[in-house]
């Protein structure tokens, strides 16, 4: 699947359901993009971080 496409959908859904302003959604989107870059550069560290987040 196309991650960028998915992120855009996620951002617009986020705006729709939470009613936050676009700035907040943009910040969220940027965070998602940073995670995406990290995932590509450091897959091992990324997987550890994600599994830690899931455990909480």
pLDDT tens readout for residues 4-35: 787 778 777 776 776 666 777 778 788 888 88
Give pairs for 27-33: CB < 8 Å, separation 24+: 32/7, 33/7
Residue 50, domain extent: 3-55
pLDDT band at 45; cut points 50, 70, 90: confident
Domain count within the chain = 1
Of residues 51 and 19, the one with the higher pLDDT is 51
Return the DSSP state at 56.
-
Which residue has tokens 């560290």? 45
């Amino acid at each position: 699947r196309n991650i960028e496409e998915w992120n855009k959908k996620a951002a617009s859904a986020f705006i729709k359901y939470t009613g936050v302003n676009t700035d907040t959604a943009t910040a969220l989107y940027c965070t998602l993009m940073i995670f995406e870059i990290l995932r590509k550069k450091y897959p091992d560290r990324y997987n550890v971080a994600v599994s830690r987040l899931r455990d909480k």
